[in-house]
């Protein structure tokens, strides 16, 4: 069965009224997944700070911890806010990803989805930004490499915004491939095709605004998936953002929930060839609640079908 990693702390990261990265996102995802059969639910454990420090220095953790308010909100930048429950939620997101990596590598499941927030792919080594505190997917990749002895881990990102944080955290990590499709131009302004990493281990496939299924499938089918196949990963981690959906208010791509199902199934096929089918996915963006729920369901159904 596909493992689902969840913890109620996802509901305790409260953002200011009107903020798109809100508690209702976690509620919508939880409801959508609760309607699906063939899933195995697990508590997302709370990560120790040492887990965060696989990618972020201790002084950065200290700054985040010190910024957490006793009540109301504190702003780390114009977009990124924290409340009393934010650090706990972020640590459970990191811990959930780590537990999913452990379970998939141990053969307890072939696929897993971490249904937690806040997202993580914009968090750079010493900078919280884009609603993100810690680089959840990158930390999961480092755990697989350093704790489990894997030699090649791929992190794939189909969020509509470029995962600048993941790219930053893995830029010098030659044992990883980071590959992303994303709208360009768009926040955060990174992700050009010429950004290739210190070891030619970064691959960016920018997509023009207002493009949809055909352009997305060309980017993945002609660029990212062949590179993934050549890399021959032993584990695939997906930064699963669903804000490329046509209904999303923060961007201008025209994907459908069927597109998320297609790209997930295509990733799983490559994982089957090289990684024993091992895929861990962690929630990133997606801000239209109905589109988010439908897209997460399509994504997890594809993961579940890959389980066989």
245 forms beta bridges with 255
Indicate which residue of 30, 122, 245, 306 is catalytic: 122
Contact 180, 157 (CB under 8 A): yes
Query: Residue 197 region, left (φ>0) first, then alpha (ψ -120 to 50), else beta?
Result: left
Angle (deg, nearest 10), helices 58-67 and 86-105: 140
- Known active-site residue 194: no
Contact 289, 28 (CB under 8 A): yes
What the block records as the tokens of 300 is: 């997890």
CB within 8 Å of 190: residues ≥ 6 apart = 162, 164, 167
Q: Count the residues in the chain.
A: 308
- In a 3-state reduction of DSSP, which class is residue 115? coil
Token pair 């997906």: residue? 238
- In a 3-state reduction of DSSP, which class is residue 210? coil
Contact 89, 125 (CB under 8 A): no
Supply the residues annotated as catalytic.
122
């Amino acid at each position: 069965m596909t493992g689902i990693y969840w913890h109620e702390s996802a509901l305790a990261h409260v953002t200011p009224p009107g903020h798109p990265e809100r508690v209702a996102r976690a509620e919508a995802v939880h409801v959508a997944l609760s309607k699906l059969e063939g899933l195995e639910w697990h508590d997302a454990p709370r990560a120790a700070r040492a887990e965060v420090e696989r990618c972020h220095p201790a002084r950065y953790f200290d700054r985040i911890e010190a910024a957490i308010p006793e009540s109301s909100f504190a702003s780390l930048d114009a977009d990124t806010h924290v409340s009393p429950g934010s650090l706990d939620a972020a640590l459970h997101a990191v811990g959930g990803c780590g537990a999913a990596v452990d379970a998939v590598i141990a053969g307890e499941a072939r696929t897993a989805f971490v249904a937690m927030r806040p997202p993580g792919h914009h968090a750079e080594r010493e900078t919280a930004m884009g609603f993100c505190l810690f680089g959840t997917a990158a930390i999961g990749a480092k755990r697989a490499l350093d704790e489990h002895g894997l030699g090649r881990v791929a992190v794939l990102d189909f969020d509509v915004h470029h995962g600048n944080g993941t790219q930053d955290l893995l830029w010098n990590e030659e044992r990883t491939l980071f590959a992303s499709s994303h709208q360009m131009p768009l926040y955060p302004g990174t992700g050009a095709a010429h950004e290739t990493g210190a070891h030619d281990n970064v691959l960016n496939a920018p997509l023009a605004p207002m493009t949809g299924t055909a352009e997305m499938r060309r980017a993945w089918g002609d660029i990212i998936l062949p590179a993934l196949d050549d890399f021959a990963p032993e584990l695939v981690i997906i930064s699963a953002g669903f804000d490329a959906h046509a209904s999303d208010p923060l961007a201008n791509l025209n994907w459908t929930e069927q597109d998320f199902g297609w790209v997930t199934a295509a990733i799983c096929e490559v994982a089957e060839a090289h990684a024993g089918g091992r895929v861990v996915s962690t929630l990133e963006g997606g801000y239209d609640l109905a589109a988010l729920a439908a897209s997460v369901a399509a994504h997890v159904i594809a993961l579940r079908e890959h389980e066989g």
